[in-house]
Chains A and B, each alone.
Chain A
Amino acid sequence: MEQLLVPMICKIDKVIQETPDIRTYRLKFKEEGLTEKFKWMPGQFVEFSLLGSGECTFCIASSVTRKGYFDCSVKRAGIVTADIHSGLEEGDEVGIRGPYGNWFPLEDIKGKNLLFVGGGIGLAPLRSLIQYCIDNRNDYKDFTILYGARTSADMCYKEEIKEWQDNKTLKVILTIDKPEETWTTNVGVVPKILEEVVKPVIENTKVITCGPPIMIKYTIQSLLKLGFADKDIITTLEMRMQCGLGKCGRCNIGSTYVCKDGPVFTNEQLKRLPDEF
């Protein structure tokens, strides 16, 4: 076990300040050969360790199809993430373990319309899948991204969103919670926009959603109201994890280990879990 818990060393290639409290770290392996071995699927996560401060769980925010690097987006929330924000710059070294967990059901969503609903930092796991799907664009049909943030400054991946907007094969809808002077498009919380503006097609559509727990809760409610089936709603759960190996018992919800059986669940699976997340 102790060997399984030893991280590999990565070098920070690039730091992108996405919003005042979110930074994206682009990581490359220090040791050669690891880059080829490190394969992940969209939705999986890694244990990111700042040696001396501790470990944190972050999902991988980029796709395996973009070769040579991977991204982790870090929101300043707790002690370790504060240390990461204040202490890590380009060229610094961090430890990485992983990838762990399950991934988005890529086979299931093939040939379907995709609707991505993201909020705040919740776009990070979706971005991995969005990039993957853009790179395999022919496998999928219609493509809608709904992304909401508190303010326009709190939107992450601004550059990339611009790229998506320029891409004619995607439909991107952005929203912020409160009106701003320079903001010309939608204003309102995500579930409201979902119902009033997006008006998604229900047939043959899979919804992938991620965001703060409260947003997920209401988004799922309005999706069900719109007529989506439980099995077509896919989300990723957030639980405190430490080992990522299904041993430490921290992420247990009932008999489910979120780090092994999750973090990606369909609403159908979520309904069976005891209400403890």
Chain B
Amino acid sequence: MDYTKQIQEIASKLFAEGKIDVFVGYRLTGFDENQVPVLIRDQKDVSQLVFNDRSVFNLVNYLKYEHTRNKRVGLVVKGCDSRSLNLLLTESQVKRDKLYVVGIACEGVVDEQGNKMQNCMECVFPDAIVADEMLGTPHEVRKYKVNADIDELASKGLVDRRVYFEEVFENCIRCNACRHSCPLCYCAKCCIDQETATLYNGANTTSGAFHALMTWSLHLAGRCVDCRNCEKACPSHLPLHLLHKWNERVIYENFQEHLAGVHEGDRGAFYKYSMQDPDDFIM
């Protein structure tokens, strides 16, 4: 999967036609195979752009910052990224007419060791859903698969799970990198950071981490698109995908096979309801 040339051509065409102010893409770090997101504002820098299976980071995240706000933006999206973009469009965070989206029919990206990422192996929608232009050959429709880690953990006993997650919360240093790297966390001030003392858990304690991670994952339940930006950002390498994948599974199984951001205008699972939702757990 290498669309470097096509993307460079598209970007330079867009700049030449004056259609965009900023193009968000990837460039090489210059010293290893990894890539750095880059915001290009001038046609002469277009040659920096690359795209291959190391283009991991979800660029939709950059639509949150002042560098792209109120500007016409060109953007490269993979399948999972486009789902988050779709949600942002539905939630009125970005304007479609200010975006020029280059969609990729993604064949999966790799982690730093060069192994295919887990989420790519389980990916249901590898093709960009929102796009002005598509690169690559579209894939056939895949079936939703339950995450292997989830299966393994869910089969363990309550006490074991508690021990496992206690370790997770203890290792969290509450840098909030997960939140900042998430394309869907766009609130100006996160509810976890509201300094109203009775609700606030500002300290980096285990309990604060429990509170923060649980609240965060529940706010993303039914919205998380499994791009794994958070996991990549976490300096403690916490298995954050477990929380999201578990929620995704519960929602998929119980709420009419809902998957986040796969249809245009489709909101998160908590923004709608159905008469058929399970009721048996309520007395």
A200 at the interface (CB under 8 A from B): no
Counting contact residues on chain A (CB < 8 A from B), the size range is: under 10
Interface hits, B142-167 → A, CB 8 Å: none
B residues within 8 A CB of A83? 197
Q: Mark B181-196, 1 if CB is under 8 A from A, else 0.
A: 0000000000000011
A7 at the interface (CB under 8 A from B): no
Would you give the shortest CB distance from A100 to chain B, in whole angstroms? 22
Give how many A-B residue pairs fall within 8 Å (CB-CB): 10
Chain B CB within 10 A, most for which of A52, A79, A83: A79
Task: Count B interface residues, CB 8 Å.
Answer: 4
Q: Mark A54-89, 1 if CB is under 8 A from B, else 0.
A: 100000000000000000000000011001000000
Would you give the shortest CB distance from A172 to chain B, in whole angstroms? 39
Question: Bound state CA distance, A80 and B198, in angstroms?
Answer: 12
Question: Bound state CA distance, A80 and B195, in angstroms?
Answer: 9
A165 at the interface (CB under 8 A from B): no
Question: Bound state CA distance, A109 and B241, in angstroms?
Answer: 64
B194 nearest in chain A by CB position: A79
B residues within 8 A CB of A80? 195
Question: Bound state CA distance, A54 and B196, in angstroms?
Answer: 9
Question: Bound state CA distance, A54 and B197, in angstroms?
Answer: 8
Would you give the shortest CB distance from B184 to chain A, in whole angstroms? 27
A51 nearest in chain B by CB position: B197
A167 at the interface (CB under 8 A from B): no
Q: Mark A100-132, 1 if CB is under 8 A from B, else 0.
A: 000000000000000000000000000000000
Would you give the shortest CB distance from B198 to chain A, in whole angstroms? 8
Interface hits, B189-245 → A, CB 8 Å: 195-198
Question: Bound state CA distance, A80 and B196, in angstroms?
Answer: 8
Q: Mark B54-79, 1 if CB is under 8 A from A, else 0.
A: 00000000000000000000000000
Would you give the shortest CB distance from B26 to chain A, in whole angstroms? 33
Question: Bound state CA distance, A249 and B200, in angstroms?
Answer: 22
A53 at the interface (CB under 8 A from B): yes
A residues within 8 A CB of B196? 79
Q: Mark B89-127, 1 if CB is under 8 A from A, else 0.
A: 000000000000000000000000000000000000000
7 A–B contacts, CB within 8 A, in A order: A52-B197, A53-B197, A54-B195, A54-B197, A79-B195, A79-B196, A83-B197
Top 3 nearest A-B pairs (CB, nearest first) are A53-B197, A79-B195, A52-B197
Q: Given contacts A54-B197, A79-B197, A80-B195, could you give 7 more A-B pairs where the C-beta distance is less than 8 Å?
A: A52-B197, A52-B198, A53-B197, A54-B195, A79-B195, A79-B196, A83-B197
